[in-house]
Amino acid sequence: MLGTAISLCERDLGEIRVLGTAISLCEQVLGEIRVLGTAISLRERVLGEIRVLSTAISLCERVLGEIRVLGTAISHRERVLGEIRVLGTAISHRERDSGEIRVLGTAISLRERVLGEIRVLGTAISLRERDSGEIRVLGTAISLRERVLGEIRVLSTAISLVLQLGRDSYSCSSG
């Protein structure tokens, strides 16, 4: 009878050791869950940075459109300057009559419009420089996102292994 009691005690001690191992694994899983929570928080921050990047890309596209407008303005400006030179030469060789003055007025008006378009181009270039900084922020956000996704995969694998080990330990102690 004493032998049976000792045998039962030894079996109980083995089960207690298995239970201790299971508790230790559970504590480890809780730690990994905390790490996973941190990873999820980082992921949310990365998503916010991706939204910022999307806005930066949208601004870049708008700036490119404004740069095209500026290119057109510069082309108009060069044409107008050529016409003004021709007009100046023509006026110096002819008498000034009211028709030529109207043409000159039109040339001056075109010149003022071109100057306005040049100001728009300057604004577009300024926006483009600001967008370059936002694109660097987006690159950092994408890098962080990739790192967080890698950590989440590692944690997911670790949790699966711990849960499997816990099930295996439980089935060993039950059997």
Tokens of 103: 């043409």
The model's pTM: 0.33
Tell me what pLDDT residue 42 has: 83
Please say if the pLDDT value at position 19 is more than 80. Answer: yes
- Cα 69-75-81 angle, rounded to 5 deg: 135
Which fold, 12-174? Helix Hairpins (1.10.287)
Please say if the pLDDT value at position 102 is more than 60. Answer: yes
Average pLDDT, rounded, for the chain: 74
- Could you tell me which of 36, 43, 40, 22 has the C-alpha nearest to residue 156? 36
- Could you tell me which of 29, 51, 31 has the C-alpha nearest to residue 145? 51
Tell me what pLDDT residue 167 has: 67
Domain boundaries, the chain: 12-174
Q: For residue 115, give Cα distances in angstroms to 65, 92, 118, 128.
A: 18, 25, 5, 20
Tell me what pLDDT residue 99 has: 62
Calpha distance 77→62 (Å, rounded): 22
Calpha distance 75→12 (Å, rounded): 92
How long, in residues, is the chain?
A: 175
Q: How many other C-beta atoms lie within 10 A of the C-beta of residue 56?
A: 19
Helix (H) or strand (E) holding 83: helix 2-93
Calpha distance 156→172 (Å, rounded): 24
User: Mean of the pLDDT values across residues 142-160?
Assistant: 72
Query: Cβ contacts of residue 117 below 8 Å, gap of 6+?
Result: 69, 70, 72, 73, 74, 76, 77
The angle, 0 to 180 degrees and rounded to 10, between the axes of the packed helices 98-174 and 2-93 is 170
**Percent of the chain topping pLDDT 90:** 0
